[in-house]
Amino acid sequence: MTLSGKRILLIIGGGIAAYKALDLIRRLRERGVVVRAVMTAAAREFVTTLSVGALSADHVFTDLFDRNDEHDVGHIRLSREADLVVVAPATADLMAKLANGHANDLASTVLIATDKPVLMAPAMNPKMWSHPATRRNRATLQKDGVAFVGPAKGEMAESNEAGEGRMAEPLEIVAAIEALLDSRPKPLAGRKIIVTSGPTHEPIDPVRYIANRSSGKQGHAIAAALARLGADVRLVSGPVGIADPAGVTTLHVETANEMKDEVEKLLPADAAVFAAAVADWRSETSADEKIKKVAGEGPPALQMIENPDILSGVGHHRKRPSLVVGFAAETRDLVRNAEAKLAKKGADFIVANDVSHEGGVMGGDRNRVRIVSKAGVDEWPEMSKDEVATRLAALIAERLKTVVV
Ligand code: CTP
């Protein structure tokens, strides 16, 4: 997908992340995109119109009632001349304004006047992001067709707080823009696909949990690749440090039981891909209070019980999707173990990867997989997790072609 020649209207909201908008403009212009910027009054407290204008090589629009601007371009033309409107950073205020139809400055007026798709990259303090008002606004905006990229979890620039609210990185925003402007045929349009990704956290007490090293990169990349092919993707993600993929509805869970409940609520679906590294066991009990060290008593004995197998549950479900894809992370006897899982879990494919492989699949960016099905074993060369995702999405599209919607 090439972005060359595309026109983007970038609305820069007021927040520390506004400095990342400068890099975003650079990245877009490197790709031949024509960027025109609108800055809110708050944005101008963080970066200057001079920097934004220099990078975009265009006039920067700031005022709704600027006679010159209205005479030359006008807010309606400004909102329609682009192929896409991108809001980065999208503040809680800008989200609230659009969700409720306010139009009292240039940015909010352009957003409500446009007939083009809108992509928002939220950035705010984690408390503001998790506030019911912001969550409500986000749900409204999604229903209205606004696309989102991020936010990610991480350290906040302005405080020692960590949590969800950090703006997606400029290259993630570029990828989301590419996905939205991609006009190639969408073989998975009209297909609902469930994807699980990331680890699960199984609590021991309020501060401790059992986890694993899964980063969620592969599962998230698969969700994004399926969305690029037009699928309605529902990603059920365990706790990860990466942004929600663009164009995907992401549900966040902590434990295997929560993941299972969300996945089952999402049935029926056309396909399901189980990329999550679900904890096989959990502590039978989770203490309400932090477990204290008691002198002379030694460490507590954890009584472990098995978690439900989500893949197997769906693979044998009465509402089983037409296509069920599982993963197998093995350190030895890769193909034999994957074949056994195929049968036991009721999957059509198992994407088998050797986790003993050099460089470490878990957390890394590359992967070498084999696709195990009843038809045999297909060995794929080592490639990036994004490439594995793209190929797997194409394979899923191919397999679903013969299934009537
Ligand atoms: N899986 C699942 N629910 C679980 C455990 C695993 O949905 N409770 C799914 C994973 O998402 C993956 C597949 O099952 O698609 C294989 O998981 P893996 O951990 O490799 O297999 P296990 O069946 O747990 O076998 P083992 O750990 O003995 O290799």
As its CATH architecture, domain 194-400 has: 3-Layer(aba) Sandwich (3.40)
Please state, in angstroms and rounded to a whole number, the distance separating the CA atoms of residues 94 and 390. 34
Ligand 1 centroid from CA 205, angstroms: 24
Q: Is 112 annotated as a binding residue?
A: no
Q: Per-residue b/e over 352-380, b at no fewer than 16 CB within 10 Å?
A: bbbeeeeeebeeeebbbbbbbbeeeeeeb
Please state, in angstroms and rounded to a whole number, the distance separating the CA atoms of residues 391 and 28. 26
Q: Is 266 annotated as a binding residue?
A: no
Residue written as tokens 């934004």? Answer: 52
Indicate whether residue 327 lines ligand 1 (CB < 6 A).
Answer: yes
Amino acid letter for position 348: D
User: Which are the contacts of 343, defined by CB distance < 8 A and separation ≥ 6?
Assistant: none
Q: Is 292 annotated as a binding residue?
A: no
Q: Is the pTM of this model over 0.75?
A: no
202 neighbors 279 (Cβ within 8 angstroms): yes
Best residue among 317, 320, 327 to mutate for probing ligand 1's pocket (most ligand atoms within 8 Å of CB) is: 327
Q: What is the DSSP-derived secondary structure letter of residue 243?
A: P
Q: What is the pLDDT of residue 252?
A: 95
Indicate whether residue 349 lines ligand 1 (CB < 6 A).
Answer: no
The CB density around residue 116, as the number of other CB atoms within 10 Å, is 14
Each residue's pLDDT expressed in tens, for the chain with a length of 405 residues = 789 999 999 999 999 999 999 999 999 999 999 999 999 999 999 999 999 999 999 999 998 777 666 666 677 888 888 999 999 999 999 999 999 999 999 999 999 999 999 999 999 999 999 999 999 999 999 889 999 998 988 776 666 677 889 999 999 999 999 988 887 788 999 999 999 999 999 999 999 999 998 999 999 999 999 998 999 999 999 999 888 888 889 999 999 999 999 999 999 999 999 999 999 999 999 999 999 999 998 898 899 999 999 999 999 999 999 999 999 988 888 889 999 999 999 999 999 988 775 555 666 788 889 999 999 999 999 999 999 999 999 999 999 987 665
Amino acid letter for position 277: A
Please state, in angstroms and rounded to a whole number, the distance separating the CA atoms of residues 197 and 215. 9
Indicate whether residue 351 lines ligand 1 (CB < 6 A).
Answer: no
Strands 383-384 and 366-367: antiparallel
Indicate whether residue 307 lines ligand 1 (CB < 6 A).
Answer: yes
Q: Is 9 annotated as a binding residue?
A: no
Between the alpha carbon of residue 145 and those of residues 112, 180, 190, the distances in Å are 13, 12, 16
* Same fold? 7-183, 194-400: yes
Indicate whether residue 240 lines ligand 1 (CB < 6 A).
Answer: no
Indicate whether residue 311 lines ligand 1 (CB < 6 A).
Answer: yes
- What residues act catalytically? 212
225 neighbors 390 (Cβ within 8 angstroms): yes
The CB density around residue 42, as the number of other CB atoms within 10 Å, is 17
The CB density around residue 89, as the number of other CB atoms within 10 Å, is 29
Please state, in angstroms and rounded to a whole number, the distance separating the CA atoms of residues 54 and 19. 14
Atom number in ligand 1 closest to CA 280: 8
Residue 262 corresponds to which tokens in the numbers above?
């969300």
Ligand 1 centroid from CA 327, angstroms: 7
CA end-to-end distance (rounded Å), the chain:
27
Under the phi-then-psi rule, with left for phi > 0, alpha for psi from -120 to 50, and beta for the rest, what region is 132?
A: alpha
Domain regions of the chain by residue span: 7-183, 194-400
7-183 — its CATH code?
3.40.50.1950
Q: Which of 354, 358, 315 is nearest to 337 (CA)?
A: 354
Best residue among 280, 335, 370 to mutate for probing ligand 1's pocket (most ligand atoms within 8 Å of CB) is: 280
Between the alpha carbon of residue 369 and those of residues 353, 365, 366, 386, 388, the distances in Å are 5, 13, 10, 13, 8
